[in-house]
A and B are shown apart, each in its own frame.
Chain A
């Protein structure tokens, strides 16, 4: 059953271009001296094949929940003061951002460590699937990481 009180999934999973400026504004915090913004972007080559674009598909409800929980875990596990995570879905062109990680902490060590952990965990846990479209006309779903039920 979905959680009736949960914020809308679009807060974490969106088909619109990711707006890191908005996430930076949203996480504004005068107690933080460090801000790390990481984006994953669509690369033009993978395993020797020329990539022209990507499709990302998500189980949106579950993916939003995973990102919401990850944000909370980042705040608990690191001395981070703010964390926001977003993943894009739909068709993406080369160079567009597919994922955004924004972390603020008092100092840079915590901010970098928390952001690094967040993107690594996200890739293991978010129910999102990437399909690459190639210049030679083919397309393929990439091999991935099996999800584990808790």
Chain B
């Protein structure tokens, strides 16, 4: 199963990239498990993802959300709009 991850705001700087495709072997995988993997792949550990929220498509989701093949997952750091 493959999902597309996109980073926003300062996460792009921290990761040095806009996102990545991730192949997940074991099903079911959750958003939280994916984040754990990204913390190792693109960040200096889970500390850099503190306060980060997640989206799948146009929905804000919690870490327990199960992922489907082809999902677009957003990592959303604390927001500063307005």
- Chain A residues close to B by CB (< 8 Å): 1-3, 40, 56-59, 61-65, 87, 98-99, 119, 122-131, 141-150
Contacts and interface: CB of A to CB of B under 8 A. Distances in A.
Contacts of A142: 80
Given A122-B81, A122-B82, A129 B54 contact: no
B79 A126 contact: yes
Given A61-B57, A62-B59, A127 B76 contact: yes
- How many interface residues does chain B have, given as a range? 20 to 34
B7 to A, nearest CB: 10
B36 interface: no
Q: For chain A, what secondary structure do more than half of its interface residues adopt (helix, strand, loop), or is it mixed?
A: mixed
Contact of A149 (B60, B78, B80): B60
B43 interface: no
A116 to B, nearest CB: 13
B57 A126 contact: no
B9 A141 contact: yes
A122 B77 CA distance: 16
B52 to A, nearest CB: 8
A129 B62 contact: no
B33 to A, nearest CB: 16
Contact of B82 (A1, A40, A57, A148): A40
B80 A129 contact: yes
A143 B81 contact: no
Contacts of B81: 56, 58, 63, 87, 98-99, 122-123, 126-130
Contacts of B76: 59, 127, 147
